Amino acid sequence: MNSKELLLNYCYDNSEQVNIIGIKRQTINWDHSRKSTKKNVRVLQWNILSQALGQNMDNFYRCPLEALEWNNRRCALLEEMLTHEPDVMCLQEVDHFDFFNRALATQSYTGIFQPKPRSPAIAMPDNNGPDGCAIFYNNNKYEFHEKFEHNFYHLSTSNCRSAQVALLVVLIDKVSGNKFCVATAHLKSRKGGKEACLRNNQGKDLLSFVSEHAKNCPTIITGDFNAAPYEPVYETMCSYPEFKLNSAYKEPGEEPKFTSWKIRQREGDCKETLDYIFYTPEYLTIRSILAMPKEENVHKDRTPSLLYPSDHFSLIADFFFNET
């Protein structure tokens, strides 16, 4: 039994949850003629759902209560992360960073955390501190070079400063010497024209922040943008003059029909595309992605559920470095 199996078995043995099959998904592979060094990097992007917010604020009234219990959810979250063996994990709504940092360290991951300065999680009963963004990387494969943190300060409609954050890490491949940047962010939520405008300003701010630290470097930007592809921030991300970005899940056609699917008490059925992996095609070529589940494979009560621990699905993309 390998260390991954030992970790997951230990986790499940200390919960009321049993190992689950999960929701079936397929990997989509693409053939590319562009030459490369064939050095892959697999990136996972995932809003894992804050424990405090999920239990107290998000109103998943069709979700069984036991599926929201932390001792159960943490096992399923770890299993989703480790099953796909990503090289780099970009996570949002992390409010149990210490747990993941200890658990993933046994699998050769190093974690970096950027808490929100005004996280709504800290106002919830039995909270575990603020939620925020985290990046974990495989320390057997990559050497840490430097990190940068960013707080968004655009005023919101309530005239309060934004609580959203971004995190950027520069890594070096230990074998090839390739240096690359990975950034992740969680933009403002809620519907409406003013919020869409705020997200667009945050997108511009994010791009300025990333470009300052990622000059002439392969770059991957992930996050929960809380914005559909038709919102201004999506176009902003794909048309930045400083460096060209493509969306990994749009190639070769359109963005998926959903990356988040839940049922809330007031809003009802919420099926949305909110999460993205952007990358610089000048330096990176997309090799494959993990597709969203087929609609018929998503439970009638949607997510989170006993089949899946978050209201957002993970995005996973394989890249290789282009030859220069």
**From CA 45, how far away is CA 316, in angstroms rounded?**
6
CA angle 109–111–114, rounded 5-degree value: 165
Give the pLDDT confidence score for residue 221 in this predicted structure: 98
Q: Give residue-wise pLDDT tens across range 78-118.
A: 999 999 999 999 999 999 999 999 999 999 999 999 999 98
In terms of residues, how long is the chain? Answer: 324
The confidence band for 9, taking pLDDT boundaries of 50, 70 and 90, is confident
pLDDT at 149: 97
Can you give the three-state secondary structure of the chain, one letter per residue?
CCHHHHHHHHHHHCCCCCCCCCCCCCEEECCCCCCEEEEEEEEEEEECCCHHHHHHCCCCCCCCHHHHCHHHHHHHHHHHHHHCCCCEEEEEEECCHHHHHHHHHCCCEEEEEEECCCCHHHHCCCCCCCCEEEEEEECCCEEEEEEEEEECCCECCCCCECCCEEEEEEEEECCCCCEEEEEEEECCCCCCHHHHHHHHHHHHHHHHHHHHHCCCCCEEEEEECCCCCCCHHHHHHHCCCCCCCEECCCCCCCCCCCCEEEEECCCEEEEECCEEEEECCCCEEEEEEECCCCHHHCCCCCCCCCCCCCCECCEEEEEEEECC
- The CA distance from 138 to 107, in Å, is 8
Range(s) of the domain holding residue 92: 3-322
Tokens 């049922």: give the residue. 263
Residue 70 clears pLDDT 80, i.e. is over it: yes
- For residues 65-70, average pLDDT: 90
Amino acid, res. 147: K
Instruction: State the average pLDDT over residues 265-274.
Output: 87
pLDDT given for residue 314 in this prediction: 98
Q: What is the CATH number of the domain that holds 13?
A: 3.60.10.10
Whether the per-residue pLDDT at 157 is higher than 60: the answer is no
Report the domain count for the chain: 1
Q: State the pLDDT at residue 22.
A: 76
**What's the pLDDT at 156?**
52
Please compute the mean of the pLDDT values over residues 27-45 and round it to a whole number: 75
pLDDT digits (tens, 9 = 90+) for 211-252: 999 988 999 999 999 999 999 999 999 999 989 999 999 977
**Based on the number of CB atoms within 10 Å of its own CB, is 50 exposed (0-12), middle (13-18) or buried (19 or more)?**
buried
